[in-house]
Structure formats: structure tokens, C-alpha cells
Amino acid sequence: MDIDKFREETLKRLGLGEVNSGIYDGKWAPVEGRETVTSYSPIDGKPIAKVTLARKDDYDETVKKSKSVFEEFRLIPAPKRGQIIAEIGRALREHKEDLGRMVTLEVGKTKSEGEGEIQEMIDIADFAVGLSRQLYGLTIASERPYHRLYEQWIPLGPVAVISAFNFPSAVWSWNAFIAGAAGDTVVWKPSTKAPLTAVAVMKVISGVFEKHGFPPVYSLIVSKGSEGGNWITDDPELRLVSFTGSTRVGKRISEQVSRRLGRSILELGGNNAAIVTAKSDENIALKGVVFGALATAGQRCTSTRRAIVESSIYDNFLGKLKNAYSKIKVGNPSEKGTLVGPLIDAEAIEDFKNTVETAKRQGGKVIYGGKVVENPTVPGGFYVEPTLIEAHSGMDIVKEETFAPILYVLKYTGIEEALRLHNSVPQGLSSALFTNDMREEEAFLSAYGSDCGIANVNTSTAGAEIGGAFGGEKETGGGRESGSDAWKGYMRRQTVTKNWGDDIPLAQDVVFDF
């Protein structure tokens, strides 16, 4: 597909122009007189459009408005809040293809992955609608007669979501739709590498607010990288900050938010491994490892970075990996049949090159790929070869995360050694084991098994479902978002004691005589 035509059609479908407002607080701020950021497509390196950047006064006004809306929104019954999100979900369904095209254009995901990201938003909207009728608290047995003891959950307040480029819309919705069901308002600061997707999503959502007369629960602030982040993390009006990004930045955000005794949900680096045992179904393992390593060109926090393969099948499995990699189509993600699109920008290309060279210096052997694509299908884009590197446990680079399609392959003997290799990195997000042996499976899922927040058996490290709580341990941050009981992070717990008797028996049998 001609990328210039694809760009023009996508902007037209979504009602975007050459310069677009990056500030929404119930109304779109004018674009005149504001600094802008240009969004470039990694497909061909050309500009897509511009987005205005918020000033400090824009930010202050947006948070003030979010707080005001919260005071109204928290009093709306939760099932009614769910209906607002239900309408948003319907609107996203109507615009799924167009928004998916924007994800493809702005961050380089294939068309199926771009639309898949919008489908995740739709799915989490459906989940949040059901959740709005299930914000349950506990009834607790009181030790005092004629007393009732229970817990209830109350909306927390205005919260902020700082999202990353690699999932420019879905991860925001994992937080925002759950927070909305909980009764919170949300200020969104997207990555300046993917601001147009955020603007396009907010245009769809703002249309829902206007059509139905709903309060503007969601706000948007596009700002310079660390500037806007500092406004958010230092702001006591924002009770919770959810951040997706690097461990380095996450640590700083955690410190800043903690300093004001705020809450944070951190979804940081991943360095995910797939253990492939001799008792696995190798066809399933092969598909799981290849998908995990190459989806989104290796730019997922759940991407498979390490394949830990049992020695007795190592050579055979490595041969199958090489064969699979040789058949992968790299190029324009808007074209049918492309499985691996571009990296996000020139900086990512340099990271890829430096990582491959470092791996070789540390004793790694490049088995496949390892180079920048010199003659890509679209000139000017940021394309690299899917890369396999034979590695060993002494290589420090294996313990680092690089957002690129690089897979380190390591050999092991015995499930205990596999688990030791698996857990030997600082990160702890997602993990996978491919086996048909119950003992190996139980070892992987035991207390000495995977130390990650997500553990998969016979499926990929990538592709988490929205129904489960998403997040990891160690340097991944320890936060949880999306499904299960992650909603509790967006609310405050209150323990309630009610005395309905004609006396007041005191705790610890204390007696006051007067």
C-alpha cells in the first residue's frame, strides 16, 4: 500500500489536520500560539502531523477541571458510570478500523496488531461495564454484640496515566476504564512518540461525552517528555500515577510520588524467557517463541527476549527457529503478509546495533540476522532483521532489555537449571514454559519456579488477556492493572463499624465508669 495515501486517508477518516490540539479537558484547547511536537511514522520516517504541547497553565487548568468533574462523577452510582464506559466501547467499535490504522501509521504495528490494540480497548470497556456492578466489599464478623463490621470501597480521586509508545492506546484504557468504573477521573499524558493516537482516541471519546451529555471523565495533556511527567508526579491533587515505561524512569517517578505519599502503579521493563523442554510439543513451542519474540518487532514489554532450551533438543529446535525466521516478512506493516514492521525511530536502531555488538563482544554468536535492513520496502523507515543470538549465562547483556527483535538462545540441562537461568535477571514481568510434563509444569508454577507476575504454560510470554491482573515483580515495578481485583488500586478502602444496640461495648473490654 502507498504509505503517503495511507497517511492521508487515515488522517481524513479520524478528522485530524496538519496541526491538532493536544489538550482536552471537556473542550479542546485552541492550537494558536502553542509549541508543537511532530509525530513521525516509523514506516518511512516522514512526518504525519503536529500536536500542540501543553503549558503549565494548561496543565493546572486541566487538573482543576478533572478534580471538579470528580466531585460530580463520584456521586453517580457505579452501574451508571459503567453505562458511560459502555457507550465509549460502542464508539470504539465503530472506529476500530480507523484507530487501528493510526496505530499502524504512528508506531509501525501491522494492521492486525493495530486493530488488535483497539479491540483490547473494547474488551476492557466490556470488562469495566461488568465490574461496575461488582465493586464488592467484605462483611466481617464483629466481636462486639449488636455491631456490624464491613468494608466498602470509595472512589480515590483524579488519577494520572502516563503511557508508552508501544501500546499507545490499549494500556491507557486498561487503567482509565477501570478507574472510570471505580469513580475516578483520569488525566492522560501519552508518549510524545505517539501523540496522534491519543488525540484520535480522545476525539472519539469526547464525541461520546458531547452526544450523551456525560461529564468529561477523561482528559488529555500532551507535553514534553519529563516536563509533563514532573508536573504529574509532584502534584498532590493526583492521588494515583500509573506509569508504563523504563525501569530507570519508573524509579524516579516512584520516588517523586512516594515523597508526597501518593500511590503509583508501575509497569516497567520486561526481560521475558520461554523455557522449552524435551517434553514439549515443539510445534506449539516454536509458534509461541517466534510470536513472543517478533510481535510488534520485539517492542512489547512482554516480548520473549530469552529462549532457554533443553540440551537434548537444542540443536534441532535452534534449526527450526532459524528456518522460521528465514520466512518472516519484514517491511511495510500496512501491507498484507508483513509480520515484522519497523522499530519506532533512529534511536531504537542504534540501540539494536549496539546490543548486537555488545552481545558478540561478550561471547554471543549471531545465528540469524543481526543487521539493519539496508534496502527496506519503504525507504526511510527503521527496519532491522529479526535476530537470533546463541548466548550463555555469563553475558551481562542478556540481563538487559532492548526493545528490538533480538532473541537470546541458551542451553540447559534439568528443570532446576532452567529455572535458575530464568530467574537470573533483574526483571520479572512475563514467563513461559513449554512442556507436557506435569512435574515440570508444577515446578515452574511452584514457590521456587517463575518469579514473574505472569506465568504461562504452553503459550507465549506475549498476549496477556485483559481479565487477569497485569504486572510484574522485581524491577518490573510490582504494580497491577487491567483485570482481576486490580480495580482496588483505583479506590480507597474504608472499614465501617456500626453499633445498632442500646449500649456501647468498647474494644478490649475497656470499661468507663462515670
Distance of alpha carbon 109 from alpha carbon 99, whole angstroms: 12
Specify whether the CB–CB gap between 454 and 430 falls below 8 A. Answer: yes
Q: Are residues 138 and 191 in the same domain?
A: yes
Domain boundary among 467, 486, 506: 467
Q: Are residues 456 and 485 in the same domain?
A: no
Sign of CA dihedral 315, 318, 323, 326: negative
CATH value at residue 371: 3.40.309.10
CATH value at residue 216: 3.40.605.10
How many independent structural domains does the chain possess?
Answer: 2
Specify whether the CB–CB gap between 437 and 457 falls below 8 A. Answer: no
C-alpha cell at 433: 514454559
Distance of alpha carbon 273 from alpha carbon 287, whole angstroms: 14
* Ordered DSSP codes for 198-219: HHHHHHHHHHHHHHHT----EE
Cα distances from 127 to residues 46, 115, 212, in angstroms, run 37, 18, 21
Distance of alpha carbon 386 from alpha carbon 409, whole angstroms: 13
Whole-number pLDDT of residue 509: 74
Distance of alpha carbon 182 from alpha carbon 180, whole angstroms: 5
Evaluate whether residue 328 is within a structural domain. yes
> What are the residue ranges of helices labelled H in 183-275?
195-212, 225-233, 247-259
Q: Are residues 195 and 94 in the same domain?
A: yes
Whole-number pLDDT of residue 20: 98
Could you list the residue range(s) of the whole structural domain that residue 397 is in? 272-467
**Vertex 183 angle, CA 182 and 188, to 5°:** 95
Distance of alpha carbon 150 from alpha carbon 264, whole angstroms: 26
Q: Are residues 219 and 249 in the same domain?
A: yes
Q: Name the active-site residue from 115, 120, 301, 401.
A: 301
Q: Are residues 446 and 488 in the same domain?
A: no
Burial of 7 (0-12, 13-18, 19+ CB in 10 A): buried
Cα distances from 370 to residues 373, 386, 407, in angstroms, run 9, 7, 10
Cβ density class 51-79: b for 16+ within 10 Å, e for less: bbbbbeebbebbbebbeebbeebbebebe
Q: Would residue 452 show up in a list of annotated catalytic residues for this protein?
A: no
Q: Are residues 114 and 149 in the same domain?
A: yes
Q: Are residues 114 and 134 in the same domain?
A: yes
Q: Name the active-site residue from 106, 117, 120, 267.
A: 267
Distance of alpha carbon 289 from alpha carbon 274, whole angstroms: 7
Instruction: Identify which of 237, 236, 245, 293 has the alpha carbon closest to the alpha carbon of residue 266.
Output: 245
Cα distances from 21 to residues 27, 49, 65, 175, in angstroms, run 10, 11, 17, 23
Whole-number pLDDT of residue 299: 98
Instruction: Identify which of 248, 246, 192, 243 has the alpha carbon closest to the alpha carbon of residue 221.
Output: 192
Q: What 8-state DSSP symbol labels residue 59?
A: H
Q: What is the full per-residue pLDDT of the chain (514 aa) written as tens digits?
A: 689 999 999 999 999 999 999 999 999 999 999 999 999 999 999 999 999 999 999 999 999 999 999 999 999 999 999 999 999 999 999 999 999 999 999 999 999 999 999 999 999 999 999 999 999 999 999 999 999 999 999 999 999 999 999 999 999 999 999 999 999 999 999 999 999 999 999 999 999 999 999 999 999 999 987 899 999 999 999 999 999 999 999 999 999 999 999 999 999 999 999 999 999 999 999 999 999 999 999 999 999 999 999 999 999 999 999 999 999 999 999 999 999 999 999 999 999 999 999 999 999 999 999 999 987 778 899 999 999 999 999 999 999 999 999 999 999 999 999 999 999 999 999 999 999 999 999 999 999 999 999 999 999 999 889 999 999 999 999 999 999 999 999 999 999 999 999 999 877 777 777 7
Whole-number pLDDT of residue 37: 98
Whole-number pLDDT of residue 374: 82
Q: Is the pTM of this model over 0.85?
A: yes
C-alpha cell at 198: 491519543
